[in-house]
């Protein structure tokens, strides 16, 4: 990451604007809901989306609009006479299900090293558990109070895009082609751009601002799948259950108990290793639903992980002819690597923008997914840009103020590079 003496003047200026926006946005609860049948999955996401629409209109973006799916889009017109392909920047407004996003109370502090105790919550951010923390001594950080998540995933990206747009509006001397922005719901439940009108949107390339460490860019994500098991036992009053009862909870426990203990799980893998991960269990002794997410960088290995789960389900179901296990599988998104490698200029332009900030760009692979995975598959090649946020989906989430300025500046510089090449 950059030290203070390498932060460019625009990045330093942009940081405070980004923080002001961020602190407003995170106080709006936008948690999505996987089991909802509406789109967006929760109406409260529209509270932030409509706010963004108003802010874009206040900046003078005349075509700013929100559609029936909650997608907020707008275009910043070109400032150059020659033709430049239109590019876009995306960020999602929803937050994850793991931790509440209601009543967020962000805390700004100067970090002097060591552990960060989050009020009286019992939560602590420790350098050994959050390795990037040691690189931020002397920097301003924003944390939670330990009772909610922060929402930097991805309200930091939202704030940084809005800050970059405001800067470009205020500085028409900065050369850039048409710059489009899009804010969407439901990324955290894998449906962020399901209905996005890629063809009419008109961009030739896009960037999600949904990453982590300053200087990192990603053109590769996991491929993702979901597996649902509906486990049916045999119900009867427990007082007369001998020889009759088949307990679905015990069957579900048997399924989970057969998962590999030392491999193929998030807690035992790193780098390019994939995993299967049980995320939801619900039901009672007669019927239980188990949900898994399955991840790998290679599609054939993703298929192997799914087959492992199907095999476990079949074995457990065969243990008693009176039970059944119905398995549903679906691919959520694919690794965007292969498509982006066919358009090397998209990532190359981003790398040049990062270098102009005094950072050395580092290509990393995301052990997760972004809306860029789906957008790329839909025909809009979309790599990912850092935001400066860390430890997402937890009460220990934090973000560096200086890095927020760098992320906003990266958006500005990316638009400039496209106009100059």
The per-residue pLDDT for 421 is 84
The per-residue pLDDT for 204 is 98
Cα–Cα distances in Å, from 234 out to 36, 280, 376?
29, 22, 45
Q: What is the pLDDT of residues 135-167, one digit of tens each?
A: 999 999 999 999 999 999 999 999 999 999 999
Strand 107-110 and strand 216-221: the pairing is unpaired
Token code pair at residue 215: 């200087």
Q: Which residue has the tokens 């934090």?
A: 398
DSSP notation for 270-329: -TT--EEEEEEEEE-SSEEEEEEEEEESSHHHHHHHHHHHHHHHHHHHTT-TT-EEEEEE
The per-residue pLDDT for 7 is 40
Per-residue pLDDT for 9 more than 80? no
- Residue 255 CA to residue 308 CA, distance in Å, equals 11
Q: Give the list of residues 6+ apart from residue 56 with CB closer than 8 angstroms, or none.
A: 64, 72, 74, 162, 165, 181
Q: How confident is residue 301, by pLDDT bands cut at 50, 70 and 90? A: very high
The per-residue pLDDT for 369 is 81
Which among 139, 140, 137, 142 is positioned nearest to 156, based on CA atoms?
Answer: 142
Q: How confident is residue 333, by pLDDT bands cut at 50, 70 and 90? A: confident
- Residue 366 CA to residue 397 CA, distance in Å, equals 18
The per-residue pLDDT for 210 is 97
Token code pair at residue 210: 């949904």
Question: What is the share, in percent, of the chain residues with pLDDT greater than 90?
Answer: 93
Per-residue pLDDT for 74 more than 70? yes
Q: What is the pLDDT of residues 274-297, one digit of tens each?
A: 999 999 999 999 999 999 999 999
Per-residue pLDDT for 4 more than 80? no
The CB density around residue 60, as the number of other CB atoms within 10 Å, is: 12
User: Quick check: 158 and 25 in contact, CB under 8 A?
Assistant: yes
User: Quick check: 33 and 189 in contact, CB under 8 A?
Assistant: yes
pTM (two decimals)? 0.88
Which among 250, 106, 240, 193 is positioned nearest to 370, based on CA atoms?
Answer: 193
Token code pair at residue 337: 């690597």
Q: How confident is residue 214, by pLDDT bands cut at 50, 70 and 90? A: very high
The per-residue pLDDT for 14 is 97
- Residue 321 CA to residue 232 CA, distance in Å, equals 11
Per-residue pLDDT for 257 more than 50? yes
Mean pLDDT within 295-313: 97
Give the mean pLDDT of the chain.
95
- Residue 309 CA to residue 10 CA, distance in Å, equals 50
Q: Give the list of residues 6+ apart from residue 31 with CB closer than 8 angstroms, or none.
A: 42, 44, 94, 95, 96, 97, 100, 101, 102
Annotated catalytic residues are 94, 187
Q: How confident is residue 81, by pLDDT bands cut at 50, 70 and 90? A: very high
State yes or no: cis peptide before 154, omega within 30 of 0: yes
Q: Give the list of residues 6+ apart from residue 325 with CB closer than 8 angstroms, or none.
A: 229, 230, 231, 232, 251, 255, 313, 314, 316, 317
Q: What is the pLDDT of residues 108-143, one digit of tens each?
A: 999 999 999 999 999 999 999 999 999 999 999 999
Token code pair at residue 419: 């106009």
- What torsion, rounded to 10 degrees, do the Cα atoms 22, 27, 33, 38 define? -90
State yes or no: cis peptide before 40, omega within 30 of 0: yes
Q: How confident is residue 368, by pLDDT bands cut at 50, 70 and 90? A: confident
């Amino acid at each position: 990451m950059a030290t203070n003496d390498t932060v460019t003047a625009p990045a330093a200026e942009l940081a405070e604007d980004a923080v002001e926006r961020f602190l407003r946005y995170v106080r709006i609860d936008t948690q999505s809901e996987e089991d909802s049948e509406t789109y967006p999955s929760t109406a409260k996401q529209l509270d932030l989306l409509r706010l963004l629409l108003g802010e874009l209109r206040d900046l003078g973006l005349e075509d700013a609009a929100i559609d029936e799916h909650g997608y907020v889009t707008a275009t910043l017109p070109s400032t150059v006479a020659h033709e430049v392909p239109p590019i876009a920047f995306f960020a999602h407004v929803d937050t994850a299900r793991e931790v509440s996003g209601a009543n967020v109370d962000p805390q700004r502090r100067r970090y002097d090293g060591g552990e960060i105790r989050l009020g009286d919550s019992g939560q602590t951010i420790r350098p050994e558990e959050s390795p990037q923390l040691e690189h931020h001594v002397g920097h301003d950080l924003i944390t939670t109070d330990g009772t909610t998540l922060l929402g930097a995933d991805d309200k930091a990206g939202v704030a940084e895009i809005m800050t970059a747009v405001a800067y470009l509006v205020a500085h028409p001397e900065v050369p850039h082609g048409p710059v489009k922005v899009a804010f969407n719901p439901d990324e955290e439940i894998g449906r962020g751009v399901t209905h996005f009108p890629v063809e009419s949107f008109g961009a030739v390339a896009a960037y999600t601002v949904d990453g982590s460490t300053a200087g990192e860019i990603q053109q590769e994500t996991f491929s993702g799948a979901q597996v649902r098991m509906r486990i049916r036992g045999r119900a009867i009053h427990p007082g007369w259950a001998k020889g009759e009862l088949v307990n679905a909870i015990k069957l579900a426990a048997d399924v989970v108990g057969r998962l590999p203990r030392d491999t193929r799980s998030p807690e035992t893998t790193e780098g390019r290793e994939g995993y299967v991960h049980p995320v939801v269990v619900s039901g009672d002794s007669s019927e239980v639903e188990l949900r898994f997410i399955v991840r790998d960088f290679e599609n054939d290995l993703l298929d192997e992980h799914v087959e492992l789960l199907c095999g476990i389900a079949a074995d457990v179901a065969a243990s008693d002819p009176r039970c059944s296990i119905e398995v549903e599988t679906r691919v959520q998104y694919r690794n965007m690597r292969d498509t982006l490698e066919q358009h090397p200029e998209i990532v190359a332009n981003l790398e040049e923008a990062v270098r102009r900030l005094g950072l050395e760009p580092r290509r990393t692979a995301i052990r997760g997914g972004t809306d860029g995975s789906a957008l790329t598959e839909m025909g809009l090649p979309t790599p990912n840009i850092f935001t400066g946020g860390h430890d997402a989906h937890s009460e220990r989430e934090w973000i560096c103020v200086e890095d927020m300025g760098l992320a906003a500046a990266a958006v500005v510089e990316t638009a400039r590079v496209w106009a100059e090449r």
